[in-house]
Structure 1
Amino acid sequence: MKTARLAGFATRVLAFAIDIAIIDVAVLALGGALAWAANVLGIESNPSGILVAGLAAIGWVVLISNYLVVFWCLTGQTPGMRFMGIRVTDRRGAPPGFVRALRRLLGMYLSAIPLGAGFLLILVDDRRRGLHDRIAGTLVTHYVPIVAENGLETVGSPASDDALRSPGGLA
C-alpha cells in the first residue's frame, strides 16, 4: 500500500490565507455595494460606530464559517486547499460530512483561543493533525487529481493509504 503524503503546516497556512483573501474580497465588494445602495437611498450611517463594526465582525465570522463548512462537506477542499493541492478527509478517505465539518470548525475556533497553540500541534504530531483535526477525526493530505475520459476531474482517493489506517487512527 502507498502512504498518503500528509499536508504540512506551511501548505495549510497558505491555503487558509488564500481562502481568507477570497472572503475579504467578497466582503469588501458586498460592503461597497451596501454603502453605495445606502447612499443612493439617502440612508445615513456612521461606519465608525461600534454597532456597525460589531455587526461587520459577526457577519465576517458567519461568512467564513459557512464558506469552510460548505466546501469541506461538498468537496473536501476549499478553493485555497485546491490551489495548494490538499484536501481534508475522514477516516475512510471521503470528504467530511456536515457534522464532522462542524466539529472541525469548532475545533478551529478552540485552536485559535490559546494564541493559535492548537494549530501548532501540526508541527509535532506524527500525522500532522492539529487540535481541530483531532476533534473532528480528520486528516489533511495532498491529492492527485484524476481526469476521466470525458474530461471531468475527480480527486484521487487515499482510502487505501496506510496513513488513514495507522495505529492510533483517527478519533
Structure 2
Amino acid sequence: MEFNHGGFWLRLAAAIIDTIITQLGLTIIGVIIGIFVGIFMGAAGSPMGDIEMIAGGIGYAIGIIGQWLYFTIFEISGWMATPGKKILGLQVTDLNGQQIGFGRANGRYWGKIVSALILMIGFIMIAFTDKKQGLHDIMAGTLVIKKPSA
C-alpha cells in the first residue's frame, strides 16, 4: 500500500506545537496542585523544604504521566493524531494505514525515549528512511502519514 508520508520538517513542526500545548497545560496543572500541596502541608506545619520537595516530585510525576497520556490517548483516538499532528494534517497509523491500539501507541511513546537518548539519531532517521520513519516508528510498527483527502 502506498502512502504520502509525513516528512521530517512537517513532523518537527507538529512536535513543536505539541510541546507548547503539553508544557503549558502541565505547568498550569502543576501550579494548581502545587498550591494545594503547599496549603495542605503548610497548615499541617511542614517545613518549606519538605513542601518544595513533595511539590517538585508531584510535578515531575504529572509531567511524565501527562505527556504519556497526551500522546497515547490522542494517537489511539478517532483523530489518530495529537493536536499538533492534526493541525498539520498528519495521522499515526500501523503499517497498513489502520488505526493503532493502546499497546502500539505505548511502544511508540516509550520508543521516543530511545530515539532521543542516542543523540536524537532516532528522530533524524525520519529525514532519511523511505517511509519517513523514526526509530520509534520502526520499533512500534507505525507510520506517520498525511491524512487522505475526504
TM range (shorter): 0.7 to 0.9
Matched, 1:142 2:141: no
Describe the SS at the equivalent of 2:144. strand
Alpha carbons of structure 1 residues 28 and 133: separation in structure 2 relative to 1, 3 Å: same
CA distance in 2, matches of 1:105, 1:136: 9
Matched, 1:74 2:73: no
**How far 1:13 sits from its partner (Å)?**
1.3
**How far 1:99 sits from its partner (Å)?**
1.2
1:18 maps to what in 2?
17
**How far 1:49 sits from its partner (Å)?**
4.7
TM-score by length of 1: 0.73
Summarize the alignment of residues 4-153 of structure 1 with structure 2, pairs less than 5 Å apart: 4-38=3-37, 41=40, 43=42, 45-46=48-49, 49=52, 52-75=55-78, 76-144=80-148, 146=150
Percent identity among equivalent residues? Answer: 29
Alpha carbons of structure 1 residues 47 and 124: separation in structure 2 relative to 1, 3 Å: farther
Relative to total residues, which structure has the larger helix share, 1 or 2? 2
CA distance in 2, matches of 1:102, 1:27: 20
Q: What are the ranges of 5 or more consecutive residues in structure 1 without an aligned counterpart?
A: 147-171
CA distance in 2, matches of 1:16, 1:108: 12
1:152 maps to what in 2?
none
CA distance in 2, matches of 1:66, 1:57: 14
Letter in 2 for 1:34: I
Alpha carbons of structure 1 residues 47 and 121: separation in structure 2 relative to 1, 3 Å: farther
Q: What are the ranges of 5 or more consecutive residues in structure 2 without an aligned counterpart?
A: none
Deviations 1:5-50 (A, max 9, x none): 2111111111111112111111222123234434555726449955
CA distance in 2, matches of 1:134, 1:127: 10
Aligned length: 145
Contact 1:46 1:52 in 2 (8 A): no
